[in-house]
Amino acid sequence: MDRLKGKVALITGAGTGMGSVAAQIFAAEGARIMVVDINAEMGKATVEAIKSEGGQAAFIAADVSDEQQVQAMVKGALDNFGALHIVYNNAGIFPADDGGLTETSSSTWDQVLAVNLKGVWLGCKYAIPALIASGGGSIINVASFVALMGAATPQIAYTASKGGVLAMTREIAVEYARKKIRANALCPGPIDTPLLAELMANPEWARRRLMHIPMGRPGRPEEIAKAALFLASDDASFMTGAALVVDGGITAAYVTPED
């Protein structure tokens, strides 16, 4: 259980859902964790959960769409732990009013792109110099299965943002491969998180989503966190520029959406 022994990992959106679970799993594997979240109460709760199991973690509040706050979170990792080896750009949003192309407002588009795409860009921009100074490392950027195929239920801003994450990750991987930086995208399907639970409260939305998952259920946060663990670890040492799909078979299936 020491796949990340001696490593320092920064995880955004680590106060809840996939990010919190990943922070605890990474810590159990020996990493020291810089927990980042916009919600201080939730972020500190993740830190306490890690410490209660004997792990090491610190918290900093940050809005990943704000450049100065992203700079501060990377500095926080260096100040607390002296190095940075893993960056897991997990923070993201999916507003309920993100819908079809003609219905989605400009403000929703701007908000989603600011967090989901600009936030990942900023996370990479300011973390990469720290990764290089620490001898290299791994970047895991959360995209989505909708970066690879159109969503059955319209969500234009989210889909565009995740497609951008996937393309950007490939370019980062090529640019920094010879500087000992690996960059991979994680493409989850629907995952059982508080955000999904809120959306699934709509029975029609839930029905349309579940019918497209061959395994018939959403994924569990730990199933995504363990895929991220693989990408973060030396087990993936020859893997960069890839899209690791963990979606219950959605992208493998041929299904005609209902009207």
113: CB partners within 8 A, 6+ apart: 157, 160, 161, 164
Q: State the catalytic residues.
A: 158
Q: How many CB atoms lie within 10 A of CB 107?
A: 10
70 alpha-carbon distance from chain centroid = 15
Give, in words, the CATH class of 8-246.
alpha beta
> Can you give the pLDDT of all 259 residues of the chain as single tens digits?
799 999 999 999 999 999 999 999 999 999 999 999 999 999 999 999 999 999 999 999 999 999 999 999 999 999 999 999 999 999 999 998 999 999 999 999 999 999 999 999 999 999 999 999 999 999 999 999 999 998 877 899 999 999 999 999 999 999 999 999 999 999 999 888 766 666 666 666 666 667 778 888 889 999 999 999 999 999 999 999 999 999 999 898 875 445 3
Number of helical (H) and strand (E) elements in the chain, helices listed first: 9, 7
- Whether pTM > 0.85 for this model: the answer is yes
130 alpha-carbon distance from chain centroid = 19
Cα–Cα distance measured from residue 160 to residue 92, given in angstroms and rounded to the nearest whole number:
13
- Strand-pairing partners, residue 186, are 142, 244
Q: Is 55 helix (H, G, I), strand (E, B) or coil?
A: coil
Q: What pLDDT does 151 receive?
A: 81
Contact 179, 135 (CB under 8 A): no
